[in-house]
Every structure is written in structure tokens, then in C-alpha cells.
Amino acid sequence: MKRYVIIGNSTAAIHAVEGIRSLDKEGTILLVSDETHFTYGRPLISYYLYGKTDEEHMKYRPSDWYEVNGVQTKLGVRAEKIDAKEKTVTLSTGETVGYDKLLVATGSRPFVPPMEGLDRVEQSYSFMTMDDALRIERDFVKTDNVLVIGAGLIGLKCVEGILSRVNSVTAVDMADRILPSILDEEGSRIVQTYLEGLGVKFCLSDSAVKFESNSATMKSGKTLSFDKLVLAVGVRANIELVKEAGGACERGICCNEKQETSLADVYAAGDCAISHDITAGVDRVLALLPNAAFQGRTAGVNMAGGDVSFDQAIPMNAMGLFGLHMMTAGVYEGEVYKEHKDGNYKKLFCQDGVLKGFILIGDVSRAGIYTSLIRNRTPLCEVDFDLLKTRPQLAAFSKTYRRENFTKEV
């Protein structure tokens, strides 16, 4: 009987368990996590503050999921050391547990760049975990002026969550525009204008150089005062366990298409692991929930003796802010098709005869048809791209494609 140990309790870990159980109903599964919560949808923390869900509905799986899947949990326990030779993991409780197959799904943590005086700020928050959301819910009050450092995905989802709970929110970013990792300049402007219309303030092309307990001195010389500070600058992958055990790591844990690390019988998946981004053609961390799910599933199946690969990793984001939806995928390189009318913004990027990326703001309907063209690297000569440009539709695909997909099981 195999002994599986899983470090982590979020998306990659859960999908790995399901992958294991798809082949192995007998092996023992021990899941260790330093978080005490039942597995929850991590990106839901902003929706929690926004009032769109509650703790019960945030559960990522039904309440009996651990039992049904024969998972022994150690929650609130940290894995401190992997001994890849002895095949053991040392826990914060002092225990040492042995494994036949180990998954490292340790995710990432907020990255806080060194900033002078940060330790003088008493009311400082990050926005990554349920506990962070609960602290914000508990502490933030109507009269608060909040300064959010970082106008990327995490920072702006936090802004959405807290705006109606406080007096004012100002988001700061070193970049000259918001959401620089997923939008182009024009797209950033559209979303920024929308958010400013709702009362969000921005301070761009600027950064905090020094903090006092309730104010930040900016590089520009400006002083921004605040009651509460949220740090959403970025994240760092939790690679230390594997690195210290001698496993190959870059900015994330290196792994192959089977999610194997360089250590025998040690797998990695999720935000701590590196993916091969097929659109950019580079290895990098793609900290996206679906990617964690695909990698976790792949790891689990392989840990249980299966043989599957995940080789379709692409950056993609579905992002909504106060009812304005945007979807993006791939890389923004190559020939551009652009539409900007009736409040909807669309850009498609084609290169080497395939769709490489897109940005949609406003009308995002059927975006998955575009995403699948990118993921499958479908040659555009096989579809009626002129038709597809205007609207994602299956009429632009061949009769054969439709027969394969509509008249058979898929």
C-alpha cells in the first residue's frame, strides 16, 4: 500500500488527491497544511469581503470530502523539512512522516520589498489567505482611508472587496498603469477610468520610499496618509522545502510535464511550481487557479502510477471588478485585430498562423472559443478567422470539427 504525503490544502493539493484516487483507492494519503481552514477557493477572499459569498459557500469541496477520499489531515501544521534520501518529511509538531510519493503544493506568499519604516506601520495587511480576509473584515471601518500598495490583480481585487467598507481607497503602483501584467495600455486606461468613476484613487508611476505609522513618503515627494495599509506588491513561490532538500528551483520549483521535480518521488504543482508557458515559449510560474488544478491532477495521477502529461499551460485570467468583466490569455505579440466600440474592447494577437493572445473588456461572451484556439495552437487556416474575429463562434470551424464535437462524447 502506497503512502502519499501532500503538503498544501488548496487547489493543486485537492486535485492531486482526486488524481490519486482515480487510480488508487487503497493507499494512505496524509495532507499537511499550515492553514487551519477546510479547503477553500483562495481567490474567493475578495468575493467574501465584497459580500458575494460566505465561509460556508467558500468551501472548495463538500464537507465530507476528506473522509470520502480517505484523506488524513494535519491542519495548522507546517512541513519544515524534506529528506529526499530517507523519504521523510519533518513537521512543526516534531513528528517525522515517511512517504512513497510526495507532492509539494505549498503555493506562494506575499512578497514585501524592503521599504524603510514598514515596521512602524501597525495597521498593515496582506491579501492572500482567508485569515487575511477575516482580519480585514474585523479591522476595517467606515472611516478608514486605505492605501493599497500594488495595482495588479491582487491589489485591485482587494480594492473591490473593501471599497464599500471604508472611506477611501488609494492604489499605488510603480508601473504607469493598472493591471500591467494582464492588460495593454489602452485596456488599462479603460479599467482605470471605470474604477475612478466609482471613487477609487490611483497614484501611478510612483512608489513608497519611507513609512511612518500612518503615512507614506513617495518617490515623487508626495506624502500619502492612511489608516490602513494593504501590501499587494506581488508574490513569491514557496520553494524552500524543495530547494533545501537539494531539488532544482528557479523562481519556482522546476518540474517536468509529469510534475516530477528533480528529486525522486517528489512532485510539485500549483503556484510554487514552474510551468512551461506554450504561448511565450518560456518556463515560468503561472500562478493561476486553473493551472494549479491541471498540474495537481497530473501530479496525482502520476503519483498513483499513471502516465499523464500537462503540456498546455497558458497564462489566462477572468477578472471582474465591480461588474466590469475582462478576460485575457496568452501573449500580446504579433499582428493585432482591434475593436473598440459600445464600451467593449477587444484585441486579438496572431503570430505564426495561430492565435497567440487576446484581451477582452466588457463583452466576454464565449471567450473560451478563443482560449481553446490558443491552448490547442489551432492553425488559423483551419478556421474562418474573419468570422471569428468579430465574434467567437463555432460556425467558423469546419464541419468535421463540429461533427467530432457535437455528435460524439467529448
Supply 57's cell numbers.
459557500
367 binds another protein (CB under 8 A): yes
Residue 86 to residue 64: CA distance in whole angstroms: 33
Q: Which is nearer to another protein, 266 or 273 (CB)?
A: 273
28 phi/psi in degrees, rounded to 5: -90, 140
CA distances from 337 to 19, 71, 85, 372, 382 (A): 40, 49, 54, 18, 18
323 binds another protein (CB under 8 A): yes
Q: Which is nearer to another protein, 262 or 372 (CB)?
A: 372
Supply 224's cell numbers.
500619502
372 binds another protein (CB under 8 A): yes
362 binds another protein (CB under 8 A): no
Pairing of the two strands 344-351 and 354-361: antiparallel
309 binds another protein (CB under 8 A): no
Q: Which is nearer to another protein, 96 or 398 (CB)?
A: 398
**Does residue 203 sit in helix, strand or coil?**
strand
334 binds another protein (CB under 8 A): no
Among 365, 379, 390, 398, binds another protein (CB under 8 A): 365
Q: Which is nearer to another protein, 4 or 48 (CB)?
A: 48
Q: Which is nearer to another protein, 252 or 315 (CB)?
A: 315
Q: Do 266 and 285 touch, CB atoms closer than 8 A? A: no
Q: Which is nearer to another protein, 192 or 328 (CB)?
A: 328
DSSP label of 59: B
290 binds another protein (CB under 8 A): yes
Residue 25 to residue 27: CA distance in whole angstroms: 6
Beta bridge partners of 100: none
Q: How far is the CB of 305 from another protein (least distance, A)?
A: 19
CA distances from 12 to 41, 65, 259, 289, 379 (A): 11, 15, 11, 8, 31
> Pattern 26-55, binding to another protein, x per CB under 8 A?
---------------xxxx--x----xx--
- Which helix (H) or strand (E) segment is 189 a member of? helix 185-197
Q: From 176, 171, 173, select the one nearest 156 (Cα to Cα).
A: 171
> Pattern 220-249, binding to another protein, x per CB under 8 A?
------------------------------
Among 2, 3, 61, 78, binds another protein (CB under 8 A): 61
Q: How far is the CB of 401 from another protein (least distance, A)?
A: 10
- Residues forming contacts to another protein in the complex (CB under 8 A) are 15, 41-44, 47, 52-53, 57-61, 289-290, 293-294, 297, 316-320, 323, 325, 327, 329, 364-369, 371-372, 387, 392-396, 399, 402, 405-410
